[in-house]
Amino acid sequence: MKKTFSIWLFCLSLCVTASLSAVAQDATYSNKNALPEIGVVASDAISLDKEMIVGDAVMRQMRGQSPVIADPVLDEYLQDLGNRLVIHAENAKFPFEFFWVDNDAINAFAFFGGHIGVHTGLMRRAKTESELASVLAHEISHVTQRHIARKMQAQKRSSPLAIASLIGGVLIAMANPEAGIAAMQAGSAASAQLQIDYTRTNEQEADRIGISMLARAGFDVTAAASFFSTMAEEYRMVSKPPARLLTHPLTETRIADARARAADYPARYLRPSVQFELAKARIMARYSFEPDYAVDYFNAALEKNAYKLKVAAQYGLALAYMRAEENEKAKEIVINQLLSQDPSNLFYLDAATDIYIALGEPLKAVELLQPHVSLNPRNQVLALNQANALISASQYEQAIDLLRDFLLVNKDYQIAYQLMTEAYQKAKQFSQMHQSKAEVYALYGAYTRAVDELQYAYNFAGEDHLEKQRIRARIKQFRDQEERLERL
């Protein structure tokens, strides 16, 4: 398995984000059916516009310095699941962005601007899609109720940027503990105010609203209590609980409250979700397990019929074979078995593309994907896999055209810019290559390096005055973005 990061460091980030709250009085919860406190009352602490700016800045910092996963298939699944919940949320003021963090701890977290991260470890332990959805609904509720802003308003001390600095520092600590500690020390004035003990009010509010959201979205409302019970049982005898339990205290009362709230809704029994089981298998095969262990694990599951859905175990085994560079075995499973059963499945199409490229047959991947891309050219899984296959087949201009179209509506997708950079480089279009590389740096918040790349691009532009004008304008935009953050 992949190495996990410091539980203590990461638990602080959840105190700053998902669990920020004022000191609670038990009497507040004498009526479980009381209407939630709507978070817009905290608008004088930080405006929605500023919240989105700070959230964007922290997200850029995370991309550059923490183990955020860039995986179109998993991103597509998580964003779709999150959106199914958000449409049933009250007081959602901006689009939500859901993303994965490569960390085996059981955890999820939310911060400014509708950003919600989920650890791969949480997905690995979730037994059903409703359990995963229950965690997302809880975190969405933290955002819609603006718990961070309400904490700031109650204290009237910490500036948005001070809290953003602390959040960023703790998130960095997942990938680089020493750097994270230094960043947190720089924001110590804010960190001194953020205590683990002050979580009850916001946690119960998020539980209540989240379970209601879960019911409206058509999920099993008993999943919240069942996942609470799973975590409590797994870590009952452990001296160092996971971050999720440290920052989201899991008492018997809280589990009982979740069960009582679920009893207010009709029982709902759902079949296992194919997409959930495939996503879980992908996380286990690609991120949680070492290649050899993954092969043994999924082979054993298939031999003993120890799976919820056979196709998920087959898919996991195929991915494990790919990581072990046994691509012919993977091809037999994915292309000859899984795709024949479900030819439009994005998980299978993604794996088939990688297999064909690994076997030196990228044009077969292009041919396989083309009818699907024609129907949905801006789907991230289809477009990015097709672009990758076209680049591998030395069809650079076609890849560039496809990526340009994709980026018109997905302007912050780093893999697209990375593929674009590769295509321009191999096509020897160096001015465009440096411009694309600048966009990658900007997504990491590295504006100085982005400007450097644009200056290289300017030098390669030659006598193309229109191109030079566009480059100068982009340089100004990057510098303006830096200044806007400073003005916060």
Q: Is 434 annotated as a binding residue?
A: no
229/252 Cα distance (integer angstroms) = 9
Determine if residue 248 is left, alpha or beta; phi over 0 gives left, psi from -120 to 50 gives alpha, anything else beta.
beta
Length of the chain: 488
Mean pLDDT of 433-461: 95
pLDDT of residue 228: 84
- For 264-276, the pLDDT digits (tens) are 888 888 999 999 9
Phi/psi zone of residue 47: left (φ > 0), alpha (ψ -120 to 50 degrees), beta?
A: beta
What DSSP string runs through 472-483? HHHHHHHHHHHH
The catalytic position among 75, 76, 139, 257 is 139
Q: Any idea which of 112-121, 206-215, 247-256, 475-484 has the lowest mean pLDDT?
A: 247-256
Cα distance between residue 282 and residue 346, in whole Å:
12
Amino acid letter, residue 366? V
Query: Is pLDDT larger for residue 267 or for residue 405?
Result: 405
Would you state the structure tokens that stand for residue 115, as one six-digit string?
A: 């950003």
Q: What is the mean pLDDT of residues 414-419?
A: 96
Closest of 64, 54, 59 to residue 444, by C-alpha: 64
In this structure, which amino acid lies at residue 7? I
8 Å CB contact between 88 and 146? no
pLDDT digits (tens, 9 = 90+) for 18-28: 333 332 333 33
Q: Per the annotation, does 372 bind a ligand?
A: no
Q: Considering only 61-70, 81-90, 112-121, 182-191, which range has the smallest mean pLDDT?
A: 182-191
129 is in an annotated binding site: no
139 is catalytic: yes
- For the chain, how far is it from start to end, CA to CA, in angstroms? 41
Distances (CA, A) of 182 to 73, 157, 165, 302: 35, 22, 11, 47
What percent of the chain stands above pLDDT 90? Answer: 54
354-366 residue pLDDT tens: 999 999 999 999 9
